[in-house]
Amino acid sequence: MYTRIRDLREDSDRTQREVSEYLYCDQSLYSKYERGIRDVPVSVVIKLAQLYGTSTDYILGLTDEKQPYK
């Protein structure tokens, strides 16, 4: 999951600071999410899925389909 949230951020040309501002958290905390040092709360996974237009299942590694279910 950690590499997926980093890859999604990089693919969308966003910085950690931009994403952390979207999530209303410190950049250092978001960095820890990406590095797997801190567990990512469910509420953050949902917000990231909304930000990137993907499913929570994709972020969690349960599917390789980036597009959300229809």
Kindly state whether residue 69 falls inside one of the protein's structural domains. no
Kindly state whether residue 38 falls inside one of the protein's structural domains. yes
Measuring CA to CA, which residue among 38, 47, 29 is closest to residue 2?
38
Domains of the chain: total: 1
Q: What would the 3-class secondary structure string for the chain be?
A: CHHHHHHHHHHCCCCHHHHHHHHCCCHHHHHHHHHCCCCCCHHHHHHHHHHHCCCHHHHHCCCCCCCCCC
Kindly state whether residue 13 falls inside one of the protein's structural domains. yes
Structural domain harbouring 55: 2-60
CATH number for the domain that contains residue 44: 1.10.260.40
Kindly state whether residue 41 falls inside one of the protein's structural domains. yes
Kindly state whether residue 67 falls inside one of the protein's structural domains. no
5-64 tens-digit pLDDT: 999 999 999 999 999 999 999 999 999 999 999 999 999 999 999 999 999 999 999 999
Kindly state whether residue 68 falls inside one of the protein's structural domains. no
